[in-house]
Amino acid sequence: MSAIGKVHSFQSMGAVDGPGLRCVVFMQGCPLRCVYCHNPDTHSFEGGEEYTPEEMLQKILRFKSYIKNGGVTVSGGEPLMQAQFVKELFALLKENGIHTALDTAGIGDLTEAKELLEVTDLVLLDIKFLDTDSYQKHCGGDFEQVLRFLKLAEEMEVPLWIRQVIVPELNDGEENITALLELLKNCKNIKKIELLPFRKLCLPKYENMGIPFPLADTPEMPQAEIDKLYELIPEKLK
């Protein structure tokens, strides 16, 4: 019997979540509460529209001619919370010659994650913060679990893009990039590092939901400062 997935939303033509034009499936539900989260409406494990992998495949195949040089990215929420559904969907996509990418924080059961990675062509790992205390304070999660997922992806030789949102006064110093490069220095599967500037486009979502945005008073991250930080990253990883 096929797994049932709770899907928050579907984007038919995404250009920022992996290589090429892609369909992006946003799963419902996330155990983290990152202070800069842009999708608070995906937090709850209730809600979302239910799909079988086969139903989602048929929705995606309508766009196959557009994504032939891109693929499909499953994001969230946290897709590892619905790993069985994503695994079955990715298996179907690969049968149809479609590239698969997993956009994750690495928070989930490693046994299920291992099975999912077997049918994953690319992982986009949102690494967020780089030590236990900061990760717990600003995300409400276990950084050691992220490191275990990172190690698993390396052992399975799944190509990896590292992503980090850069927030003024939280992780915008050169020492953060130095620490990130130190963490990744022995990982042979890292293909790219993306530094994403903190933005506040999500404010209306928080207002509509009646919940405070933790970083409402934090200024957005200037692109010029991001460009300076990129100078610290090896050319082969940009």
What whole-number distance in Å separates Cα of residue 96 and Cα of residue 12?
Answer: 17
1 has a pLDDT exceeding 80: no
Give me the mean pLDDT over the 104-130 stretch.
Answer: 97
DSSP 154-204: HHTT--EEEEEEE-TTTT-SHHHHHHHHHHHTT-TTEEEEEEEE---TTHH
Tokens (6 digits) for 138 = 């600003």
**Residue 138 pLDDT level (bands cut at 50, 70, 90):** very high
DSSP letter assigned to residue 211: -
Is domain 5-237 in CATH 1.10.940.10, yes or no? Answer: no
Residue 188 identity (one-letter amino acid): K
What pLDDT is stored for residue 112 in this prediction?
97
Average pLDDT, the chain: 96
What whole-number distance in Å separates Cα of residue 28 and Cα of residue 13?
Answer: 19
What pLDDT is stored for residue 204 in this prediction?
95
Q: Please, are residues 115 and 82 in contact by the beta-carbon 8 Å criterion? A: no
Secondary structure E strands in the chain: 5-14, 22-27, 49-51, 71-75, 100-104, 122-126, 160-166, 190-197
Give me the mean pLDDT over the 64-78 stretch.
Answer: 96
Q: What is the dihedral of CA 161, 113, 79, 233, to 10 degrees?
A: -10
Give me the mean pLDDT over the 206-232 stretch.
Answer: 96
Tokens (6 digits) for 16 = 């920022």
DSSP letter assigned to residue 221: P
User: What whole-number percentage of the chain has pLDDT above 90?
Assistant: 97
How many C-beta atoms lie closer than 10 Å to residue 179's C-beta? 15
What pLDDT is stored for residue 169 in this prediction?
93
Tokens (6 digits) for 216 = 């409402």
Give me the mean pLDDT over the 192-216 stretch.
Answer: 96
What pLDDT is stored for residue 88 in this prediction?
98
For the stretch 148-198, pLDDT in tens is 999 999 999 999 999 999 999 999 999 999 999 999 999 999 999 999 999
For the stretch 185-198, pLDDT in tens is 999 999 999 999 99
Give me the mean pLDDT over the 101-112 stretch.
Answer: 97
Q: Look up the pTM and report it.
A: 0.95
Q: Is there a cis peptide before residue 106, judged by omega within 30 degrees of 0?
A: no
Give me the mean pLDDT over the 5-17 stretch.
Answer: 94
